[in-house]
Structure formats: C-alpha cells, structure tokens
Amino acid sequence: MASAILRRDRLRALTLLSPAYLWLTVAIFLPLSAMVFFSVLTDVPFGDREWHLTAGNYQAFLETGTYARLLWKSLQLGATVTALSVLIGFPCAYVLAKVVRGRSREALFLLVVLPFWSNSLVRIFSWAIVLRGNGVLDRAVNAVLPWPVKLNLMYSQSAIVIGLVHSYLPYVILTSYLALQAIDDSLIEAARSLGAKRLTILRRLILPLSMPGLVAGAVLIFVPVVGSFMEPRLLGGRLGTYYGTLIEDQFVAVFNWPLGAALSFILLAVVLVILGLASPILRKARL
C-alpha cells in the first residue's frame, strides 16, 4: 500500500515537472548541443560548404593572445560592474526592506523595476543622449557651475560601466531585498537594546543574514556582464571591444560560426571555473 502511494506521488511529480524539463531540453540543451557541434567544425554545414571535424577553433584561442586579453578585459568589466552594483544596490534594498513603508515603498519599487519595462536598446540610446557632448549631463553641469565645462563621457569606459550598472542593478536590489525582508526586526531591536552600534549591527547581523541574497544578485550580474556586447559596442565605440563583441562579430560580421561557438564555450568554461573556485565562499554565505 505504501509503495503504491509512493509510486503514485512520484508519477504525479513527474507529470508536473515534465513541462519544465521539456522546455529546458528544447530551449537550452538542444541549442547548446548544436553550439558544441559547430565549435568543432571547420566551416558551417550549410549549402555546398565542405566541412570536417577539428579542434582548430579552440587552438586558435590558445595561439591568439588578443582573445585572451579581451577575455581578461571582460572579466575585469564584470567584476567592476558587479562591485558597483552591490555597493549601490544593497543600501537601496535596505531602505526598501527596513526603512520605508506603504506607498513610499511601492513608488521606490516602481523606480527599481522600471528598467525592466523598457527595451535594452532604448536604455542604451537614452544614456547616449545623456552622456554625449552637449548632452543632458553636459548642459546640467554647465547650468550649475559658474565656469564652462566640457563634459563628454560617450565612447569611454565610464559610459560602458554606467550603462551596464543601470541595466543590471535591479537584480542585486531585488535579491538583497528578499533576504533583508526575511530578517526579523526583533533581532535588530534586541541588538540595539544590548548596546550594539549601527555599524556593529550591520557587520555582525544584517550582512551575514542577507549574504545569500547579496551573493545571488552578484552572480546574476557577473555572468551576463562578462559576455555583454550591446552596451560596450554602443556606448564604448572603439574602446568597446570586449570578448562579447568579439563573439558577436564572429556570428554576425565574419560569419565564422565555428570560431564564435568555440569562443562562447571557452567563456562558459571560464565562468564555471570562477564560480567553482568561489563555491566554498558561496556555500559559506548560504549557511
């Protein structure tokens, strides 16, 4: 009787989970399998093109120092954007979770999720209008200062970082907010009644308890930023050449899909290695 109930529960769980697993298979594993196949080809298997299996695409990465330099540049960009997003987003999440209430919180939440309601290209071109010479920021600064200032941040590293932080900041705010919201206010009040100062409460109580959400937000930002290409290309100009733009060029401009697929899997492997090396820290943060 018990075994029959167990089998029925397993069958019910499998029935409920099968649409999700089917979607993952179709939307993720099949495209990844196709990319693996492309990465070991000499040419795309379209039309009358001749192709055969090779490891030359991966060997090209090892032999071309430019690819490794662009990958390191993208990793640095990911670390910079993630650090800035955490430094800006965690205080915002704390204000949302522990300071404001009622309609004020709803209004602030609206401002946080507003970037998700607009197209990414619209956000990027909006920043281009703000950061360019004689743009919104330039005119605002000159309207305040008594002396003329020429302010043009377009096609610079700063413009790329600003655009990426604006695009991915909501991730760390939302994940940190959920973790902070789960902290019982009575714990903070108890610490205050025992004479703990604000910095002590932040360092010994709030940060450790909210670390899972903070780490989750950091991972959600770092992984896509390393492979980003739209913001660097549109806001960086000639300085916006990163590993993501290199991969995009292989697929769109050069039509060298095998090399683009190989470079994509190298990026995936590097990110997985970084997350694997950081897994002890991530595991400790969840405890």
pLDDT higher than threshold 90 for residue 78? yes
Q: State the total domains in the chain.
A: 1
**pLDDT, tens only, 196-238:** 888 888 888 888 888 888 888 998 899 999 999 999 999 998 8
Does residue 258 sit within a domain? yes
- Pick 103 or 2 by higher pLDDT: 103
Residue 128: which CATH number?
1.10.3720.10
| Crossing angle between the packed helical segments 120-131 and 136-144, to the nearest 10 degrees | 40
Q: What is the C-alpha to C-alpha distance for residues 215 and 273, in angstroms, rounded to an integer?
A: 17
Does residue 181 sit within a domain? yes
Contact 242, 228 (CB under 8 A): yes
Q: What is the C-alpha to C-alpha distance for residues 229 and 260, in angstroms, rounded to an integer?
A: 13
**pLDDT, tens only, 55-67:** 889 999 988 889 9
For the chain, the C-alpha Rg in angstroms (whole number) is 24
Does residue 41 sit within a domain? no
Q: What residue numbers bound the domain in which 234 lies?
A: 69-286
Does residue 124 sit within a domain? yes
Dihedral angle at the C-alpha atoms of 99, 102, 107, 108, nearest 10 degrees?
Answer: 20
Does residue 97 sit within a domain? yes
Q: Considering the entire predicted model, what is its pTM?
A: 0.86
3-state DSSP assignment of residue 79: helix
Does residue 34 sit within a domain? no
Mean residue pLDDT across the chain:
86
pLDDT of the residue at 1: 56
**Confidence label for 141 from pLDDT (cuts 50, 70 and 90):** confident
Does residue 241 sit within a domain? yes
Does residue 36 sit within a domain? no
